[in-house]
Amino acid sequence: MIVNTCGFIDAAVAESLATIGEALAENGKVVVTGCLGAKQGFIKKAHPSVLAVTGPHDSAAVMDAVHAHLPKPHDPYTDLIPDIGVKLTPRHYAYLKISEGCNHRCSFCVIPSLRGDLASRPIGEVMLEAENLVKAGVKELLVIAQDTSAYGVDLKYRTGFWGGRPVKTKMLDLCKTLGELGAWVRLHYVYPYPHVDDVVPLMAEGKILPYLDVPFQHASSRILKLMKRPARAENVLARIRGWRKICPQIALRSTFITGFPGETEAEFSELLEFLKEAQLDRVGCFAYSPVAGAAANALPDAVPDEVREERRGRLMQAQAAISAARLQAKIGRTLKVIVDEPGLGRSSADAPEIDGVVRFKGCARVGEFAAVLIERSGEHDLHGRLQ
């Protein structure tokens, strides 16, 4: 209860004190405001149990006192926002952003100039968000950042705490800890650092999904150098073989750029050869686009628009055949899928929106896991029936 008081005449003072007394007797939680409140110590002397006393014209102090002792009043515009914030994805999967910005300077990219250098979120904060998401019904966490594998570099892999336990702000530690939540954990935008190899055993053990989204961008070492990207194609192929040896079921996704300034037909063929060798499961491809402010725009020998596009088409066509063959090999297997819509799910090899899907006959609840026997395959999707 809020009692507004008057101290102008003695009768008003008496009435005010009496009213405060009544209010205390009625519900015991009383905030006093008004002129009488301005008399230092006067109210507290008469009624020591009032919660707060403010002077006149101080509605902010009154509201602070109210909020200190009662939950905030309901506001339909903001109160329905859960602690985890507003989630725009379906209830059963969520993106988990672990850092912002990037320390690399790929010559085709302006992200570092827009978002700055890498800034990792503390591990405790990330884990708490992940835990709350899982508690709220999320069954798949999609780990994202501009550079997921650099997580914690800026914080010198500082040790944080989750559930009272020390955990390092580091990709491997994050993956291990996320793996304890019991949800699917899918890694995106993994820069091909050597330490990425360390998370593959976690995939083999079923702690996180056997899925790695590593943008390779190209295969020609000259083009990669111009892009200011690491890794020579032969090293990448050896690493892919290594990953598959440790975790044969791993699904590899990558993205490439065709028509980067100076890319010759021979270098593009190198990329096609690489694709044939690498046998990636999922591939995205962009025709080079000169983003304003990107260093690559100053490179000589721009590739004409139509050639960039034509190469993109050829790359996607080559990959479609690889993808079709890889999917065909899944016929006859029973896959665990997460159901996104009636009759439509995704296996561990399918990230939402960017990869293929598993279409199935039979009734399964949206947001739940189901087992689907694969009967047919296409270029990107699988078809089957519920088990």
Note whether 87 and 132 are within 8 A (CB): no
Tokens of 306: 């139509």
Residue 295 interacts with ligand SF4 (CB under 6 A)? Answer: no
CB of 146 to ligand SF4, least distance (A): 4
Q: Which residue has the tokens 């009662």?
A: 70
In 3D space, the residue among 203, 186, 275, 269 whose CA is nearest the CA of residue 242 turns out to be 203
159: three-class secondary structure by DSSP:
strand
CB of 349 to ligand SF4, least distance (A): 23
Q: 114-126 as b/e, with b when 16 or more CB fall inside 10 Å?
A: eeeebebbbbbeb
CB of 32 to ligand SF4, least distance (A): 57
Shorter beta-carbon distance to ligand SF4: residue 102 or 138: 102
Shorter beta-carbon distance to ligand SF4: residue 109 or 203: 109
Alpha helices in the chain (DSSP H): 10-26, 42-46, 59-69, 111-115, 123-135, 171-178, 200-204, 221-226, 233-246, 265-278, 305-328
Shorter beta-carbon distance to ligand SF4: residue 184 or 191: 191
Helix (H), strand (E) at residue 16: helix 10-26
> Residues 162-201 vs ligand SF4: string with x where CB under 6 A?
-----------------------------x----------
Q: Which residue has the tokens 């002397």?
A: 45
Footprint of ligand SF4 on 98-117 (CB under 6 A): 102, 104-106, 109, 111-112
Tokens of 33: 């405001």
Shorter beta-carbon distance to ligand SF4: residue 179 or 215: 215
CB of 296 to ligand SF4, least distance (A): 11
> Residues 130-159 vs ligand SF4: string with x where CB under 6 A?
----------------xx------------
Q: By the criterion CB under 6 A, which residues form the site for ligand SF4?
A: 102, 104-106, 109, 111-112, 146-147, 191
